[in-house]
Structure 1
C-alpha cells in the first residue's frame, strides 16, 4: 500500500509538471486593425506588439459571432453558432451542467484552479452571480450582465456571489474605474495561484462603449489628434463623450498597458516559461458611444464591423505567447476560430478530450509541429437585422442576408483569398458554388431551441 501511494503520487506529480498555466485574454469590440501589429498607425500598443514579436500572430482567426454573448458561448463551449444554445444577445444564459459543458469545467476536473475575471461569457442580460462557479470557474470577479458592463463606473461588481459595492460611482463617473479593478484582481489572482496549474480567463471590458478613459491616458493623445471638443449632449444609455477619438485611443492603449502588467507579473514570478497566454477580441469593431470605425481604420481593409458577417465583423486579432515553447516572430494564415480554443486548451492541459466540438486543436501550429488539422468549413449565424448566415469553405465564403424573409433573402459569394474586402459578389457567376454551400449550411446547423434566435429553416 505504501509503494502504491508513492507511485500514485509520482504519477500525479508528473501530470502536474506537464500542465502549464493558461491565460486567455479577450478584448471587447476590438477591431482587427486596432493594434500596431495588425497595421494600426495612430494608437500605440507596444506590449501587444511585443507579445506578437515574441510569439505567434494569426491573420485568419475568427470570433464565434459578431456580437458578445454568442461569441463567448462558442469560445467556452467549443461549438459554432449553429450548435450552441446562446446564439445572440438578450435575456439568456447557459444552462446548468450537464448541458452546455464549458472547457474550464474540463480543466478544473483535470486539476486546474480556474477563474474568470472581467465580463462573464456565460450569459448576456443576466445578474445571476451563482452561474460562474456553477459552470466550472473556482473564482469570479466582475460583471455578470453585459448591459452593466457598458458602464466603467458601476455601482457594484461581483466577487463570486458577493456584491462589491462602489457607492461613489454613478455609472459614467466615480472613484472606482472598473478596468483598474479588473486588472488588479487578475494580478492578485496570479500571485495567489503562482504554484499552478491555473487557468485565467481575463475578459476585458475595453474598448466597448461607453467610452471612458482616465485623464492621464487621454492626455497622451490630445497633442496627436488635436480633436475638436464636442458640445455636451445627453445620451439615454451610453455616456456622451466629448472627445470620442481621444478617448477610444486612450482606452486601447490602457488595455495594452494592462496586458503588459500581466506579462511582467509572469516574468517577475518566474512562471512565464510555464504559462501560455492567448489574446483575441470577441468580435469586430463597434460603432457605438461616439466611436466610428473609420476614425482609426479599425478594421483595416476588411468590410463591415460588429453585427455584420462580413470579415470586419468576425475576423479578429489573435496572438499566442509562450516563451521557450512558441517560436518568436511567428505568423500564420491558418484558418481558425473560437471553437478551436476548447480542444486546444484541453490538449495542453491534459484534460478530457471533447467529443462534440466543432473545433480542432491548434497545438501543432502553436508548437511548430507537423500534423495540424484543417477545417473543412467555418459557420456563423446571427438572428437580428433580418437574420444572417455565413459559411467559409476554403477560399469561398457565402453570406445569406434577410433569411427571415423566406425566399426573398439575399445571396452574396466572395473569394476571400482574391477579395478580402468582399467587394465583388460572385454569386451570379458561380451558382453551383452557391448551391453547394447552401446545402452545407443546412447540414451543419440545427434549429435553435430558443425562439429569439430562430431563423427560417
Structure 2
C-alpha cells in the first residue's frame, strides 16, 4: 500500500508499537482483504490496479443486532446490503473482548498480547509533542477523539470515569476538614497547645482534597472530551450532539478529495458505545429504545458512505469491510445493549436465573466490586511447574495433571519451559503503562485550547449531513 493515502477517524486505542508497525499492518490487512474479495467479481478490479479500501468499525455492536444475522426487529438495510452483495465472514472473530486489544490486533494482524495497550494516549513530555498521535505512526490524516469516549462526555449522563474515586475524595475531604476544625477550635479556646503549622498543614490538605473532588466533576468533561483534526483541537469539550455527523461529513469529504485514489479510509464509529448519542430524527425510530435508535442511525451513516462511493463510481473499485471491535456490552446506561446478552426484560417484571457454579472472581481476587473501572493491576500467581490440563477431558480446567496421572507430564513441562524461554528472548522491555506515576493526571500533558485549566473552544461549523 505504498504511496496510498490513509485516514483514521474517531477512536483508535493502539500503542506506539502498533502504530510503528502500521505500515506492515496495512499491507497485511490489504492483502487479506484482496485475497478474500478479489475473485468474487470479474469486474471488481483489473489485474494491475490497486483498490480503495474502506474499513467501517462499530463499537460494542452485538452480532444479533443486524438484520443480516437474523434480527428481524431492527432495521439495518445498508449493512444488510453489504452482506447481500458481498460475503459474511462468520469466522472473522474479534481478537479480544474489549476495545483496546481487539483494535490493536485488527490494525496489525498480531495477537493483542504482542502489542500491549491501554488506550491511545497523545503526548509524552509536553502537551504539544503528540508522540502517540496517529499522524506520527503511519497515518496521513486524522479526525476524531484522541482521548476516547466516556459517558462523561454527555452532560446528562451519569459519570463513569473515577466514579468510585469521587466518593473516596468526598469522604476524605469531609474527614480531613473535620480534623482541621477539631484542631482549630481547641487551639482558639486555649484547651490544646497545637502548633499553627500543624493546623495550617491539615487545612491545606483538606483544601487540596476538596479541589481534587471538585475538579473531578467540573473538569472531567472539559479535559477528556476533545475533538481534533490532525494536530488541531476543534472542540473542547466536544459537542456530543454533533460529533458523529461531523465525522461523517469529514469522511465524505475525504472520499471526494481522494476519489482518484487509491485510498484507505478507516472509519471508527462512536456507535453503539455509551452514551448512545443519537440525532433527534432517530430518537424513537426503533423498537429497541436508545440502543436500537443508535444502531439504526449508524446504519444510515453506512448508507451515506456507500452512497458517496456509488456517486463517484467507486463501488466496483472499492473493498468495503464492516465489522465491530468486539461483541455487545452488558446492560449499561439505562438501555439494553447489543448481542442479546444480559438480562431480558419484560414490561413490568425482571427475570433472573440463578444457578450454582464456580465463582471466577471470588472476594479478594481484585475484581471490580462496586466500581465501573477495573484496576487490572492485581498480583499474579506464578505456578512452578506450570499447571497442565487435558482440555479434551477437562474443558473447565478444574483437575490439574500431575506425574501421577500423566506419564508425559515432565516431557510436556520441559517443552513448555523451553518455549517460554525462547519467547522471552523476543521481548523488548517496555515501561509499565499502569504504574502509579503513569496513571496520574499530569497538567503539563493536558491538551488544551484556550486558557488552562478552563480549556474551551469550538472551531467547527454546523454544516452536517441531514438525516
* Structure 2 length-normalised TM: 0.50
The alignment's C-alpha RMSD in Å is 4.6
1:393 matched residue in structure 2: none
3-state DSSP of counterpart to 1:449: coil
Q: 1:17 to 1:185 in 2, by over 3 A?
A: farther
1:289 matched residue in structure 2: 333
1:267 matched residue in structure 2: 310
Moved more, 70-79 or 132-141: 70-79
> Counterparts of 1:20-419 in structure 2 under 5 Å?
20-84=51-115, 87-90=116-119, 92=121, 128=130, 131-147=133-149, 151=153, 156-165=226-235, 176-221=241-286, 224-225=287-288, 246-287=289-330, 288-293=332-337, 296-297=340-341, 404-407=380-383
Q: 1:439 to 1:56 in 2, by over 3 A?
A: farther
User: What's the CA shift for 1:162?
Assistant: 1.5
3-state DSSP of counterpart to 2:88: strand
3-state DSSP of counterpart to 1:258: helix
The structure with the greater share of residues assigned to strand is: 1
Could you give the per-residue CA deviations for residues 130-169 of structure 1, whole angstroms, max 9, x where no partner exists?
Answer: 72221122111111111469736886511111222378x6
Q: 1:43 to 1:440 in 2, by over 3 A?
A: farther
Q: 1:33 to 1:412 in 2, by over 3 A?
A: farther
1:425 aligns with 2:454: no
3-state DSSP of counterpart to 1:189: helix
Distance of 1:198 and 1:262 partners within structure 2:
14
Aligned residues of 2:150 and 2:275 also touching (Cα < 8 A): no
Q: 1:294 to 1:194 in 2, by over 3 A?
A: closer
The structure number with the bigger radius of gyration is: 2
1:336 matched residue in structure 2: none
Q: 1:293 to 1:427 in 2, by over 3 A?
A: farther
Distance of 2:247 and 2:272 partners within structure 1:
14
User: What's the CA shift for 1:181?
Assistant: 0.9
5+ residue gaps, structure 1, are 1-13, 96-124, 226-245, 301-309, 311-383, 388-401, 416-422
Q: How many residues align?
A: 282
Distance of 1:24 and 1:263 partners within structure 2:
12
User: What's the CA shift for 1:77?
Assistant: 2.6
Aligned residues of 2:78 and 2:302 also touching (Cα < 8 A): yes
Q: 1:294 to 1:180 in 2, by over 3 A?
A: closer
Distance of 2:72 and 2:326 partners within structure 1:
21
User: What's the CA shift for 1:258?
Assistant: 0.8
* Structure 1 length-normalised TM: 0.51
Aligned residues of 1:32 and 1:299 also touching (Cα < 8 A): no
Distance of 1:170 and 1:269 partners within structure 2:
31
Q: 1:271 to 1:15 in 2, by over 3 A?
A: closer
Aligned residues of 2:58 and 2:272 also touching (Cα < 8 A): yes
Could you give the per-residue CA deviations for residues 213-268 of structure 1, whole angstroms, max 9, x where no partner exists?
Answer: 223212222xx35xxxxxxxxxxxxxxxxxxxx11111111111111111111111
The structure with the greater share of residues assigned to helix is: 2
Distance of 2:247 and 2:102 partners within structure 1:
21
